[in-house]
Amino acid sequence: MTSSGRTVLITGASSGIGLASAHRLLDRGWRVFAAARRLENMESLRQRGAEVLPLDVASEASRRQLADAISTRVGVLDALVNNAGFGEVGPVETMALDQARQMFEVNLFGLIGLTQLLLPQMREQRSGRIVNVSSIAGRFVTPGAGWYGASKHALEGISDALRLEMHRFGVQVVLVEPGLIRTGFEAVADDSMQKHCADPIWGSMMRNVSAGWSEGFLKGSSPDVVANTIVTALEADRPKARYRCGRESESVLVQRFMPTAVWDALVRKRMIG
């Protein structure tokens, strides 16, 4: 897929991976539609020529409003980058189901809901590319992040199904699986982290998890690493089904070939103590 004149919608474009990806695609001549809740944080994109639009991905009305705006302005997109998402942390036993549902609402249902609105035009045009930003947490889960990992596992599964279903229509579906990236994810999850760190049963584990995250994200990769991978996923003539990128993303390969009991022992030693 060549970049000149191509159109792309990027969700979650107000910070981190989405913001970096939007700038990178503008550099390469794409017509960029940037969507997020915080319009003021996308002013740098607007100044460079991106078309900035509001989106609360968990809201059906907001998704439809965005899809209608895209249809009016451009008709059919060449590409969609589903990047919007968030995470909270806590033990499976104690995390409120409402919190878990909200993660699924954003990371899975809202993402797919927007895709469903934009996909028919791509299918009818028999071309297009969808990049879903997942995580290495979509391939394996660590203590304290079970519900977040479950939402990303679900995204991996639905993306596999969509890739198979859309193949005969010429629409390609790609997963990008970042490792530890300096996006401020740990700051967003800090309230839930601190709450569970004070738990009389789970506090010790969550304090170990918190310390591990602080160290890991401090050494994490730049969002630009993911942005460059997204560009590759969009512009490759024959994209791979999955692209791993960033610090510790190679852990996916290690985990795949390691006996579960050995992997579990290593994770427990590192994160539970």
Where residue 249 sits, what CATH number does that domain have?
3.40.50.720
Q: What is the DSSP string of 63-129?
A: HHHHHHHHHHHHSS-SEEEE---------TTTS-HHHHHHHHIIIIIIHHHHHHHHHHHHHHHT-EE
In a domain, residue 2? The reply is: no
Exactly one of 104, 147, 148, 217 is catalytic; name it: 148
* Structural domain contains residue 168: yes
Distance CA 234, CA 256 (A): 27
Expressed as residue numbers, the domain containing 73 is: 7-271
What is the rounded distance in angstroms from the CA atom of residue 10 to the CA atom of residue 25? 10
Cα atoms in the 13 Å half-sphere on the side-chain side of 179? 18
Whether residue 232 is contained in a domain is answered as yes
The b/e string for 230-251 (b: 16+ C-beta within 10 A; e otherwise) is: bbbbbbeeebeebbbbbbbbeb
Q: Whole-structure pTM over 0.85, yes or no?
A: yes
| pLDDT of residue 188 exceeding 70 | no
Amino acid of residue 35: A
Inside any domain, residue 100: yes
Q: Say what the pLDDT of residue 9 is.
A: 98
Dump pLDDT digits (tens) for 28-37. 999 999 999 9
148 belongs to the catalytic site? yes
- Does 47 map to a domain? yes
Question: In 3D, which of 119, 114, 115, 148 has the Cα closest to residue 134?
Answer: 148
The C-alpha atoms of residue 202 and residue 94 are separated, in whole angstroms, by: 9
In this predicted model, what pLDDT tens digit does every residue of 4-57 receive, in sequence order? 589 999 999 999 999 999 999 999 999 999 999 999 999 999 999 999 999 999
Count of CB atoms situated within 10 Å of the CB of 101: 13
Could you give the strand order of the β-sheet that contains 242-245, starting from the edge strand earlier in sequence? 51-54, 31-36, 7-11, 79-82, 128-133, 171-178, 242-245
Overall domain count for the chain:
1
Is position 32 within any domain? yes
